[in-house]
Amino acid sequence: MILSDDRKQIAQADVENRAQQSLGASSEPIYQMVSRTLAQQHPGGGVLVDVGCGSGKLWSFVGDRFDRYIGVDAVRYPDLPTHTEFIPSNLDIGKAPLPDECADVVCAVEIIEHLENPRAFIRELVRLAKPGGLVIVTTPNQLSLLSKLTLILKNQFNAFQEAPGLYPTHITALLEIDLNRIFTECNLTKVQIEYSRCGRMPFTPWHWPKSLSIHGGAFSDNIICVGQKLKVQTYTI
């Protein structure tokens, strides 16, 4: 879809407003979940492209695993370190100004739920990944006990509630099956879902005991989906 200049300006202002309200950071258990995944699946080195980098907090958890870090976001947050290689981009209306197959790992931490078109977004992440590279996405877990009970009692997913004082910028709720389907449609292989191992007990300020939260999605507030881009096929004549 081609937007007029006026509509592009409106769309950009809207996404910048939503980005600023997110404060540019997620909770530590989410970054730890990404770090565990990389420890298991990335041998080290190469380029990390952090799409929706916010204040760059992910780098403090995984920076020792890469040679280069590129942050992409709709706005540059004040807390983003000045030495960060930053690329401004509104992924609701276009591609990131980066070349194809430039990253060994492309990561989007708590970003997809903010965007209008999750399939287009994943296609863009796949474009940026090198053959054999990883695509990693995290998002709120709609199948946790907290989310299911909120849906039953309030007719809203917990992370997508609309009420005064609640977080207003989540617009796309995805289930595990949705992520699996989208990753598969985008020709990603070895698709896996894991959990943050940290979750809030319904309608309380307390979290589930670790002895429960390590057992899966019911007790985790967030999930991670990881897939590998197909490697280039070589043929012998």
Confidence band, pLDDT 50/70/90 cuts, at residue 162: confident
pLDDT in tens, 189-217: 999 999 999 999 998 999 999 888 777 78
Residue 197 near residue 210 (C-beta atoms within 8 A): yes
Residue 205: inside a domain, yes or no? yes
For residue 235, pLDDT over 50 is answered with no
- What are phi and psi for residue 186, nearest 5 degrees? -90, 15
Tokens describing residue 81: 């370190």
pLDDT in tens, 105-156: 999 999 999 999 999 999 999 999 999 999 999 999 999 999 999 999 999 9
Residue 187: inside a domain, yes or no? yes
The total number of structural domains in the chain stands at 1
Tokens describing residue 79: 């807390």
Structural domain including 135 reads: 31-229
Residue 5: inside a domain, yes or no? no
Residue 21: inside a domain, yes or no? no
For residue 24, pLDDT over 80 is answered with no
Residue 50: inside a domain, yes or no? yes
Rounded percentage of the chain residues whose pLDDT exceeds 90:
76
Residue 92 near residue 11 (C-beta atoms within 8 A): yes
Residue 168: inside a domain, yes or no? yes
Q: Using CB atoms within 10 A of its CB, is residue 129 exposed (0-12), middle (13-18) or buried (19+)?
A: buried
Q: What is the mean pLDDT of the chain?
A: 89
Residue 235: inside a domain, yes or no? no
Cα 131 from chain centroid (whole Å): 20
Residue 6: inside a domain, yes or no? no
pLDDT in tens, 61-97: 999 999 999 999 999 999 999 999 999 999 888 899 9
Question: CATH code at 138?
Answer: 3.40.50.150
